[in-house]
Structure 1
Amino acid sequence: MTKTFKTLDDFLGTHFIYTYDNGWEYEWYAKNDHTVDYRIHGGMVAGRWVKDQEANIVMLTEGIYKVAWTEPTGTDVALDFLPNENKVNGTIFFPKWVQEHPEITVTFQNDHIDVMEAAREKYATYPKLVVPEFATITYAGDAGQNNDDVIAEAPYEGLPDDIRNGKYFDQNYHRLNK
């Protein structure tokens, strides 16, 4: 993608894959001005995926965006995107229970929000595990806003490479193999 990001509208509808300096790989989609979808391909909660997460999405200055949200798990996330420089700076604030029982979260969150909320109440939330990291954007695609094909299935081995290699979406940014 050779697009230059200047406005918030340039950012909305963009699908990213990025790898944190610690090796964790994430896939993230700015679905619209208040919602994000994502899949986690590496790290302590690899295999987790989420659709329609409410988020605060703003442009800080031309081409620089801040996105922040709180998950039903109690995890807080703050991401700064600098797509013109292929950079992300993220800080994830994992509750103690997620650090101790990450396997509970490794699922399609939308179908298990009651499980996340129950675990949040049952286990300790403090002290939080704070993970501040820089990441490199390895893919950016113009999926358009509100495209439910972008994050529509569980992560699998090799999925990010399938996307980067043009084997996952057609020219209209719809999944090839449904």
Structure 2
Amino acid sequence: MNMTKTFKTLEDFLGTHFIYTYDNGWEYEWYAKNDHTVDYRIHGGMVAGRWVTDQEADIVMLTEGIYKISWTEPTGTDVALDFLPNEGKLHGTIFFPKWVEEHPEITVTYQNEHIDLMESSREKYDTYPKLVVPEFAKIAYMGDAGQNNNDVISEAPYDGIVNDIREGRYFDAQYHRVNK
């Protein structure tokens, strides 16, 4: 199910599901849900186990086949991703508030059900200095999920989920979850 198409337009990018690993070893799963929202699951790194759906984001094409996505989470974490899918890589910079660096476990949940906790933690704990994590990543998987597919990121991460996805056990031919 790993795609081999060439990315040229913004439409080519929207609806794509990615799995990638940063050079520091952190593994992420990320979905360009539509032209203004993203979903993601985090499988490695200091906030492994965190997952988010319908995160509002700015999604643009910088030039043919190169995309920039940026957003601010309710935690106060800022994210900027530059995708070069034709080259199988991206560059991401994550700006973690001090409180997330000191209390990452608070964020390791399905954020959408705990927005109040994220916002109150942001007010309760220090936000500065930020922990800035700029890293290159290699894209290990690209799937054509189509836009607004709520099956792509629809459950908490579990051990082996990225292998299930990469090896074709997680989605059917229509990119819907096999085991709901």
- Using structure 1 for the length normalisation, give the TM-score: 1.00
Cα deviation for residue 38 of structure 1 reads: 0.1
Paired AA for residue 74 in structure 1: G
- Give unpaired runs (5+ residues) of structure 2: none
Residue by residue over 1:70-114, the C-alpha shift from the partner in whole angstroms, topping out at 9 and shown as x without a partner, is 000000000000000000100000000000000000000000000
- Equivalences for residues 135-146 of structure 1 within 5 A: 135-146=137-148
2:98 corresponds in structure 1 to: 96
1:172 maps to which of 162, 171, 174: 174
Paired AA for residue 101 in structure 1: H
Residue by residue over 1:108-167, the C-alpha shift from the partner in whole angstroms, topping out at 9 and shown as x without a partner, is 000000000000000000000000000000000000000000000000011001000000
**SS of residue matched to 1:137:** strand
- Equivalences for residues 74-85 of structure 1 within 5 A: 74-85=76-87
1:130 maps to which of 114, 118, 132: 132
- Using structure 2 for the length normalisation, give the TM-score: 0.99
Cα deviation for residue 68 of structure 1 reads: 0.1
- Give unpaired runs (5+ residues) of structure 1: none
Matched, 1:48 2:69: no
Tell me, in whole angstroms, the C-alpha distance in 2 between the residues paired with 1:117 and 1:80. 27
Identity percentage over the alignment? 84
Paired AA for residue 20 in structure 2: Y
Runs of 4+ deviating beyond 6 Å: none
Matched, 1:110 2:104: no
2:31 corresponds in structure 1 to: 29
Tell me, in whole angstroms, the C-alpha distance in 1 between the residues paired with 2:162 and 2:71. 24
Cα deviation for residue 7 of structure 1 reads: 0.1
**SS of residue matched to 1:133:** strand
Tell me, in whole angstroms, the C-alpha distance in 2 between the residues paired with 1:49 and 1:42. 12
1:14 corresponds in structure 2 to: 16
Tell me, in whole angstroms, the C-alpha distance in 2 between the residues paired with 1:155 and 1:73. 20
Paired AA for residue 29 in structure 1: Y
2:60 corresponds in structure 1 to: 58
Alignment length (residue pairs): 178
Matched, 1:154 2:144: no
Tell me, in whole angstroms, the C-alpha distance in 2 between the residues paired with 1:3 and 1:72. 34
2:40 corresponds in structure 1 to: 38
Cα deviation for residue 30 of structure 1 reads: 0.1
